[in-house]
Amino acid sequence: MDKPKVVLGVSGGIAAYKACELLRRLTESGHDVRVVPTESALHFVGAATWSALSGHPVSTEVWSDVHEVPHVRIGQEADLVVVAPATADMLAKAAHGLADDLLTNTLLTARCPVVLAPAMHTEMWEHPATRENVATLRRRGAVVIEPAVGRLTGVDTGKGRLPEPDEIFEMCRRVLARGAVAPDLAGRHVVVSAGGTREPLDPVRFLGNRSSGKQGYALARTAAARGARVTLIAANAGLPDPAGVDVVPVETAVQLREAVLKAAADADAVVMAAAVADFRPATYAAGKIKKKDGEDPEPITLVRNPDILAEISAERARPGQVVVGFAAETDDVLANGRTKLRRKGCDLLVVNEVGERKTFGSEENEAVVLGADGSETPVPYGPKEALAETVWDLVARRLG
């Protein structure tokens, strides 16, 4: 079988060096990668590096090998075009269809999925001109990855960093796996909660649970690869931030509720994959609770936490918002699932049977997705990503 053909566009930003690592990940995993840098990208990483790592000649302009019509052919033959880093200038050119070098020509002739990984200073990313260009590109079906937050060139920090090459690679893999299918969540905002809440007893102790966050992170990653703007409310997951996802870290159920309600205000869909503690300690000891010789420990009094899923289901922030819950059950899985779906008032409930092979922290999952419309979608034992894809299929169908 032919190797999938990937065009790696590199525009002129300091993060160009990270694209070398992305290139290696792509070639080592069996992709045929053609690197198309811009003239300014070569100020950061030279043509020899791109050529040696990709095994292909490298050109920035349309006047080399003219007999092969590279400005048309490279784009036409590609299975995926990924631009990393994409500068503000590159986004503007792509949004307006300019074609003054090989990369911009390639973007116009490509009919395959396009992934753009912007990297720039926060001010440039937040400028209305860039915002509008990004919105235009997303509307047309390009997957524009949200930049990461962190150290930028020089001493300043903020939003605008190129996500880690591994994360961009994962995104490329997912987009390629979907083939030429249009990103069906493009233009949508989805909110996913993940992980497990911790309810503090004192400065060093908490009541928690075993949720690893992996299912929620898989949901966030797959939604981003399908073009959605994703807000991931992450409760103590300790996993790397997925590329293209806005991560809001929280600790307790009360913080999770606040973050979910805020993000849900303009969301098309909310998926509550987090394991939320139903109860929290009634009091928080400001100092560490000490044991006292000869005395029994004080009992811990618990109070109810708000039921976030029931609340957002009852008070939809926008008409047509799709709300999805998760439930782990040990017995009478489907019957209990149906009852819970009605009680919570959500549109879909992913019911997991908790037991052997289906434990917290594993890479796999098996579930049935129950719909408020009476539908039942079984998802066989497999990677958490596969379950995530099924959830988004069902959500996308409901969003229309």
Which residues contribute to the annotated binding site?
278, 288, 306-309, 326, 340, 344
Nearest distance from C-beta of residue 210 to ligand CTP, angstroms: 13
For residues 230 and 397, is the Cβ–Cβ distance under 8 A?
no
Q: Which residues are annotated as a binding site for CTP?
A: 278, 288, 306-309, 326, 340, 344
Of 244 and 281, nearer to ligand CTP (C-beta) is 281
Give me 290's structure tokens: 């000490």
Nearer to ligand CTP, 328 or 399 (CB): 328
Q: Please choose, out of 22-30, 95-103, 291-299, 300-308, the segment that lies near ligand CTP by the rule CB under 6 A.
A: 300-308
How far apart are the C-alpha atoms of 24 and 9, rounded to whole Å?
14
Footprint (CB under 6 A) of ligand CTP, residues 310-349: 325-328
- Helix 165-177 and helix 214-225: axis angle, to 10°? 70
Contact residues for 222 (Cβ-Cβ < 8 A; gap 6+): 174, 385, 388, 389, 392
Binding piece for ligand CTP, criterion CB under 6 A, among 14-22, 28-36, 271-279, 315-323: 271-279
**CA 259 – CA 251 distance, rounded (Å):** 11
Within residues 116-155, the interface with ligand CTP by CB under 6 A covers: none
x/- mask, ligand CTP, residues 162-191, rule CB under 6 A, reads ------------------------------
Question: Given the rule CB under 6 A, which of 77-85, 181-189, 236-244, 270-278 is the region that contacts ligand CTP?
Answer: 270-278
- Are 268 and 229 a contacting pair, CB within 8 Å? no
Structure tokens at 92: 């503007």
Binding residue for ligand CTP (CB under 6 A) from 33, 91, 176, 272?
272
Residue 278 as a binder of ligand CTP (CB under 6 A): the answer is: yes
For residue 252, state whether it binds ligand CTP (rule: CB under 6 A): no
Q: In what order do the strands lie in the sheet with 322-329?
A: 245-250, 229-235, 189-195, 269-272, 322-329, 348-353, 364-371, 376-383
CB of 319 to ligand CTP, least distance (A): 21
The secondary structure element, H or E, covering residue 134 is helix 128-139
Residue with smaller CB distance to ligand CTP, 78 or 191: 191
Instruction: Single out the residue of 102, 309, 333, 387 in contact with ligand CTP (rule: CB under 6 A).
Output: 309
Taking each continuous run of H as one helix and of E as one strand, the counts in the chain are: 13, 19
Q: How large is the greatest C-alpha to C-alpha distance in the chain, in angstroms?
A: 91
Residue of 209, 236, 305, 336 with catalytic role: 209
Neighbours of 306 (CB within 10 A): 15
Q: Clarify whether 209 is annotated catalytic.
A: yes
Of 60 and 211, nearer to ligand CTP (C-beta) is 211
Strand partners, 304: 279
Q: Does 237 bind ligand CTP (CB under 6 A)?
A: no
In the complex with ligand CTP, which residue's Cβ is closer, 115 or 230?
A: 230
Q: Which of 72/261 has CB closer to ligand CTP?
A: 261
82 near ligand CTP, judged by CB under 6 A: no
Give residues with Cβ within 8 angstroms of 134, minimum separation 6: 91, 95, 118, 144
- Site membership for ligand CTP, residue 274 (CB under 6 A): yes
Q: How many chain residues touch ligand CTP (CB under 6 A)?
A: 13
What's the min distance (Å) between Cβ of 93 and ligand CTP? 43
Q: Is 305 in the site for ligand CTP (CB under 6 A)?
A: yes
Residue 297 to residues 27, 60, 289, 291, 385: CA-CA distances in angstroms?
60, 72, 10, 7, 44
For ligand CTP, what does the binding mask look like between residues 195 and 214, x meaning CB under 6 A? --------------------
Q: Which CB atom, from 80 or from 327, has the smaller least distance to ligand CTP?
A: 327
Query: Among 102, 225, 308, 391, which residue sits at the site for ligand CTP (rule: CB under 6 A)?
Result: 308
Q: Which of 101, 184, 268, 307 binds ligand CTP (CB under 6 A)?
A: 307
The whole-angstrom distance between residue 77's C-alpha and the CA centroid of its chain comes to 28
Q: For 339, how many CA atoms within 13 A lie in the half-sphere containing its CB?
A: 8
Number of alpha carbons in the 13 Å side-chain half-sphere of residue 228 = 30
Residue 72 structure tokens: 């048309």
Q: CA 44 → CA 10, 49, 202, 206, distances in Å?
A: 10, 11, 50, 48
**Binding residues for ligand CTP, per CB under 6 A?**
253, 272, 274, 276, 278, 305, 307-309, 325-328
Q: Would you please indicate which residues are annotated as catalytic (active-site) residues?
A: 209
